């Protein structure tokens, strides 16, 4: 077993906060596909940057093209053989979804610990996985890192009506043919947050209202200096 020991840096979080004029935090957007998570996260990122605040959006699709790529992408981009690609690649099984959230939770925590606003846009369907990401922030070795869960509670009817990538249509066709689609909201579960810091409904609120909702929360918590 490797002798792995945590090494604390010499720069404090307070020093970073003073430099950046903000206290880093992870803002975790969760909700169904097509609910408006990425739209809201990227709009918020743009406003934060425009006002001189460091922020970065970790988008579900983008992360699955690299850090959390599936076997096929790893085979194409890294030249992995079938065994290696299957070992390290992530699909959409319950176990792979759990690992997907674990990895991005750790990356977001690093960003937030460095003083940035890490905006994560992932379906992250399982409550226990999101709660585990929250605990990882709370139990951070250099001190708790703020974790803000934003439930994008857009009705599935609205999500399906939007369906920009045709995923719902494809999933319903697959299920209708008697096969498993493993698509959240159709034949795979989504477990809503029990106590999110914020809730947003893209069918009833504009993106601008959602951005203002999050900004007000950040200001009220003293995370924007």
Annotated binding site for ATP: 31-38
**Alpha helix (H) ranges present in the chain?**
13-20, 37-50, 60-63, 71-78, 82-88, 94-113, 127-138, 156-162, 167-176, 207-220
Gap between the Cα atoms of 69 and 61, Å rounded: 9
List active site positions. 124
- Residue in this structure with the two tokens 């406003």, named with its chain if needed: 47
Bridge partners, residue 125, by sequence? none
Residue 222, SS3 per DSSP: coil
User: By the 8 A CB rule, do 55 and 44 touch?
Assistant: yes
Taking the alpha carbons at both ends of the chain, their separation in whole angstroms is: 44
Binding site membership: which residues?
31-38
**Concatenated DSSP letters of 174-187:** HHHTT-----BTTT
């Amino acid at each position: 077993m490797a002798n792995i020991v945590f090494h604390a840096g010499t720069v404090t979080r307070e020093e970073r906060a003073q430099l950046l004029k903000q206290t880093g935090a992870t803002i975790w957007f969760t909700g169904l596909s097509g609910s408006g998570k990425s739209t809201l996260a990227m709009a918020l990122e743009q406003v934060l940057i425009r006002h001189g605040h460091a922020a970065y959006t970790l988008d579900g699709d983008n992360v699955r093209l690299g850090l959390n790529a599936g076997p096929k992408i790893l085979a194409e981009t890294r030249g992995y053989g079938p065994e290696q690609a299957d070992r390290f690649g992530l699909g959409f099984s319950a176990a792979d979804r759990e690992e997907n959230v674990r990895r991005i939770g750790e990356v977001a925590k690093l960003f937030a610990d460095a003083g940035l606003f890490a905006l994560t846009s992932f379906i992250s369907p399982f409550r226990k996985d999101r709660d585990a990401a929250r605990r990882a922030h709370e139990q951070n070795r250099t001190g708790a890192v703020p974790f803000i869960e934003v439930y994008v509670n857009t009705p599935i009817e609205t999500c399906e009506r939007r369906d920009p990538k045709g995923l719902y249509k494809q999933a319903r066709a697959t299920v209708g043919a008697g096969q498993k689609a493993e698509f959240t909201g159709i034949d795979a579960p989504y477990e809503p947050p029990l106590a999110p810091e914020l809730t947003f409904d893209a069918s009833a609120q504009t993106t601008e209202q959602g951005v203002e909702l999050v900004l007000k929360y950040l200001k009220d918590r003293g995370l924007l200096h």
